[in-house]
Structure 1
Amino acid sequence: MRIVRKFVTAQRVLRKQGFGEVLGLAKDNIANLYNRASYLFISFAERSNAKLAVRVHRKPAKPRILYITSEFEAFHSQTARYRIDNFKKALRGKAETVSVLIDYKTSFDNLIKWADIVVLMRVTWVPKVDEIIEAAKRYGTPVVFDIDDLIFLPRYVENYCRVLGDMSEENIKLRAKEFAGFEKTFKLCDYATASTPYIAEQMKKEGKKAFVIHNALNRRQLKIAERAKRAADGVRAIGYLSGTKTHDKDFEIVLPAITRIMDEYPGVRLNVAGYLDFDMLPEQVREKTRIAPYMRWTRLMKFGAQNYINIAPLDVENPFCHAKSELKYFEAAAVFVPTVASAVDTYKRCIENGVNGILATTTDEWYTALKKLLDDKDFYNTVSKNAHDSALEHYSPDANAAEALAAYNAIIMDFRGA
C-alpha cells in the first residue's frame, strides 16, 4: 500500500510540477531511507554486541561524537536535520560521528565507551536516559543536552501554549508534563548546547555550562541556491514561510503593513509556504495571495528564490520567539532575498539594521521597511548582497563545523580537567 501511495503521489506531482520535481522527490525518499538505515544499523550492531569501538577506524586527533535522539525527532521533525544530520555532514573528515535512536531496546555501552562525547538531542527523560548517564560516568564521557527552544524550562509553559494558540487548562497540564521530561534530562547532563545565544543564556542561569552551535546551511542547500531561478524582472512577491499552524498570531503582526503595501503597489503579491488561515486576510490581499502546501526542504529553497522580500514576524513579548533560530534569515539570504524581521533577540544579533536586513517592531516600521526595499533598487541590491555574504560567512557548513568542533573540544577538555 505504501508503494501505491508513493506512486499516486508521484503522478500528482508530475502533473502539477513536472518531472524535475518527481526526481527531487525520489532523491529525498532515497535520502530518507539512507538516514533511517544509518540509525537502525547502529542500533542493530549494538543489539548484536558488535565491538564498534574496535571496528571503527579513527585518528586520535579527531573527536568521536555520539548523537542520540528519539525516533520522532529523527524521522518526523526538522530539528534533527539541523542539529544532527547537518552537523554530521559538516564534520566529515574533522570528527567521527555516529547517530542512534534512544527508542530501541539496546545497550549503549559499547558506543559510549567508543565516544569522546555524547550528545542527547532533544531527548525527553525515559529510563534509558539514566542508563546512558550511568554508562558515561563509568567511562568518563561527558553527556551534553542539545536543544533548539525553551521546552526544558517549566516556567515558560504558558508562553509555549500561547505560541500554540491553546491556553486551555488541559493543554497547559499536558505541556507541563512534556516540559518536565526535558527538564529532567537537562539536569542530568553535564553540559548543554543550544541553537541560539538566548537559549544558552537561559541554560547558564540554571547553572549549566552551555555553548552555542547555530543552525546552518548544508552543502545541498548551497547547491540548490546556486541553481535556483529568481523571479522574472517586475515580479515582486513578499514571501512568508509559516512552517506550522501556530504562526497565524505571528502573521497578524505584519498584516496591516502588508495590506497597506498591496493597496499602494498593485503588482506586489504575497507568497506563503505552509499554513495560514486564508480567512484572516482582507479580500484585497486574498486576491493576490498564493498559499503553497507545506513542502520538503529542498523545494523550499527554490520557493524562497521566487520571492522579492522575505518576512519573519514574531511576537517580541514571548520568550519562545526570542529563542527562535535565524534559519529563515540565512536560508533566504542564500538565494539573495533580503529579510525584514521582528526585533527579537536572535534577529537583532544576526541582522545589522539597514545593512544585511531590516528589523521592525511597529506597523509603521514594517510598512517603511517594505516600502524602502520596493522603492530603492540600489538599497535592495546592497542589502541582498550583504545578507548573502553574511550567510555564507556565518552559516556555511565550514562555519558550522568550526563552531561545533570548538564547542565539543571545549567540553571534552573541560570535563577532563585539562
Structure 2
Amino acid sequence: MYVATVPALPYADPWQVPLQGRLQMLANGEHRVAYYAEEPNTSTFRYRVYNMAQVLNSQPGKRYAASWFFRPDLGSEREIAARADVLVVCRAGYEHRLVHLMDLFARLGKPVLFDVDDLVFDTRYVHLLISALGLNKDDPRVWDGWFGLAARMGATLTRCDGAITTNEVLAGHLREHSGRPVAVVPNFMNREQLDVSNRLWAAKEASGFAVDGHPTLGYFSGTPSHQLDYTIAEPAIARLMERHPALRLMLVGFIAPGPALGRFSDRVLRLPFTDWVNLQRAIAAVEVNLMPLQASAFADCKSPLKYFEAAAVGTVSVASPTANHVASITDGHNGRLARSPEWERQIESVLEGGPAGAAMATNARADALSRHSWAQQFPALRQALGWN
C-alpha cells in the first residue's frame, strides 16, 4: 500500500441548492439548459447532470448557464421552461408531470433531449440486466419491476428530439431503438474530484512512491449490484494471497468477500461506502484497481469511469476486456486487460512493479487528464446541446 496521502476532506453534496437558487442559475447566459433527474445521487446524477452543469457554468464570459431540477420541483415547470432554452431529461421514466414539463418545452419550440448512461431503455435487454444484478429470476415481481422501468425509460426517450450518452456502443443501441440523433459526451472527473486527485498524485511523487510492504488490491463499488462482477476476480485473488503472504485486499462499499477468501479474512480490509471526493484517497492507496465485469451487451455499454478515477491518482487498473475497457486501456501501456483465465497473471504483473509498472501508472494518469477531465469536455457538450 502506498503510504503517502492527504488528510480527509470535509464533504457535503455540492448540488444541495434551494429551488430558487437553482432557478437563479438560469438568469444569465445566451445559452441555458435545464437538467431534469428524478432525484440526486452520487452516481448517474453526479456524472450526467452536476458535472455537465459545472462545465457549462465554468465557461468564461457567462455565455452558458445550466441548472438542475428534480421530481419535487415539477410544480415550477412553467418557470423552468421559461428560463431555459434546452431541457435534458436524465435517465427518467415516463410519468405525467415530467411529460407536462417536456410538452411545455416542445410547445415553445425548445429541444428536449434524453441522457442515459446504461442500457436500461430497451426491454429486449432486461434479461441481461437481471442476470448482471444477480436478481431472483423466479420472482415475477423482479421481471415486472425491471420491464416496467425499461419500458418507462423507453417511453420518455421516444418523446425526446434526441439523446446524449457516454460512449459509441451505447449510442448505437440508442439510435437503433429510437431512430433519434445521438451525441456522445463521455463521463469525466469534475473539478473537485480532479483537485483531490492532483494532491494525491503530488504526495505520492514527493514520497518517491513509498509503500509499506503490504501490496494491496482494491475493489471499489458504490452499489451492491456489482457482487457478481467482483466474484469473477476473487478466485485469482485467493490464489495470489496463498502465494504472497503480505498481499491484502481492500473492499470499499457494499461488496462482501466470498468463501474463497475465508482463510484470509484478516487480510481483507473493509471500508464503508465513501463519498466520491474522499474515495480518491482510498483508490490512491492501493497498488492495483480491480475492474471485473461480466461479458454481455449490458457490460459493453458501461463507461470506463473506474479506470480514469484510479488513473488520476496513479493506480494501475486490471480490467475485464469489455468494449469500453478495451477502448480505454492498451494492455501493458496504461493498465492490464484480463480474460477469465488471466486475472492471476495480470494482477501479478502489476504487483511485480518496477519501471514497467511506474510507466503504466504515469501513462494512465496522462490519459485520464487528457481525455477525462472536466476542462476538456466543453466542445462535445456544446455540440450535443445543439449550440454550434
Give TM-score, length-normalised by structure 2.
0.89
Q: 2:118 aligns with which of 134, 149, 153?
A: 149
**Residue 253 of structure 1, CA deviation:** 1.1
The amino acid across from 1:398 in the alignment is: A
Q: CA deviation at 1:161?
A: 1.2
Percent of aligned positions with the same letter in both sequences? 27
Structure 2 runs not aligned, ≥5 long: 1-6, 205-209
Judge conservation of contact 2:74–2:98 (CA < 8 Å) in 1. no
Aligned to 2:230: 251
Contact in 1 for aligned 2:133/2:228 (Cα 8 Å): no
Within the alignment, does 1:135 sit opposite 2:104 as a pair?
yes
Q: 2:43 aligns with which of 75, 78, 81?
A: 78
Corresponding position of 2:4: none
Give the alignment's Cα RMSD to 1 decimal: 2.2
Tell me what 1:285 maps to.
Answer: 264
Higher relative contact order, structure no. (Cα contacts within 8 Å, ≥ 6 residues apart): 2
Question: What is the DSSP-based 3-state SS (H/G/I as helix, E as strand, rest coil) of the residue aligned with 1:35?
Answer: coil
- Structure 1 residues 287-333: Cα deviation after superposition (integer angstroms, max 9, x where no partner): 311111111111210000110011100001x2222121211000000
Find the aligned partners of 1:153 and 1:393 in 2 and give their Cα distance.
Answer: 33
- Given candidates 166, 174, 177, the residue that maps to 2:145 is 174
Distance, in Å, in 1 between the alignment partners of 2:197 and 2:233 is 27
1:193-342 matches, within 5 Å, as 193-206=164-177, 207-228=179-200, 230=204, 232-316=211-295, 318-342=296-320
- SS of equivalent residue, structure 1 residue 106: helix
Q: Quote the Cα distance in structure 1 between the aligned partners of 2:173 and 2:181.
A: 11
CA contact (8 A) 1:253 1:314 kept: yes
Q: Secondary structure at the match of 2:279?
A: helix
Is 2:51 the counterpart of 1:56?
Answer: no
Q: Does 1:357 align with 2:326?
A: no
2: CA distance, partners of 1:105 / 1:371: 53
TM-fit CA distance, 1:360: 1.0
Instruction: Pick one of 33, 58, 77 that aligns with 1:65.
Output: 33
**CA distances 1:2-49 after superposition (whole Å, capped 9, x unpaired):** xxxxxxxxxxxxxxxxxx54xx3xx423xx3x62224x2267x6xxxx
From 86, 90, 98, give the equivalent of 1:117.
Answer: 86
Label 1:297 to 1:77 Cα distance change in 2 as closer, same or farther (>3 A): closer
From 369, 372, 377, the equivalent of 2:354 is 377
Distance 1:96 1:269, change over 3 A: same
8 Å Cα contact 1:215/1:400 also seen in 2: no
d(CA) in 2 for partners of 1:209, 1:64:
21
Preserved CA contact (<8 Å) 1:236 1:268: yes
Paired residues of 1:194 and 1:211 also in contact (CA < 8 A): yes
Q: Which moved more, 1:280-289 or 1:390-399?
A: 280-289
Quote how far apart the aligned CAs of 1:284 are.
3.5
1:402 to 364, 379, 386: 379
CA pair 376-295 structure 1, distance change in 2 beyond 3 A? closer
For 1:275, the aligned partner's letter is F
Hey, what's the Cα distance between the residues in 2 that align with 1:217 and 1:387? 14
What code does the residue aligned with 1:83 have? R
Distance change (3 Å), C-alpha of 1:326 and 1:233: same
Paired with 1:112 and 1:152, the residues of 2 have a C-alpha distance of 25
Cα distance, 1:406 vs. partner?
2.6
Structure 1 residue runs without a partner (length 5+): 1-19, 46-51, 414-418
Aligned 8 A contact 1:338 1:356 in 2: yes
- Please give the secondary structure, in 2, of the residue aligned with 1:296: coil
In structure 1, C-alpha distance between the alignment counterparts of 2:42 and 2:143, rounded to whole Å: 22
Q: Which has the higher mean CA deviation after the structures are superposed, 139-148 or 240-249?
A: 240-249
Cα deviation 1:226-247 (Å, max 9, x = unaligned): 2225563533101111322222
Matches of 2:27 and 2:221, distance apart in 1: 42
Residue 192 of structure 1: how far off its partner (Å): 0.4
For 1:111 and 1:352, the matched residues in 2 are separated by 44
Question: For residue 3 of structure 2, what is the aligned residue in structure 1?
Answer: none
Counterpart check, 1:28 vs 2:11: yes
Q: Distance in 2 between matches of 1:205 and 1:408?
A: 20
- Once the two structures are TM-superposed, the CA of residue 103 in structure 1 deviates from its matched residue by 3.2
Whole-angstrom CA distance in 1 between matches of 2:220 and 2:361: 18
CA shift digits 1:174-206 (9 cap, x unpaired): 111111111110111110011222211100112
Native 8 Å contact 1:42 1:100 kept in 2: no
Paired AA for residue 35 in structure 2: Y
Q: Which amino acid aligns with 1:241?
A: F
Matched residues, number: 369
Contact 2:111/2:161 (8 A) holds in 1: yes
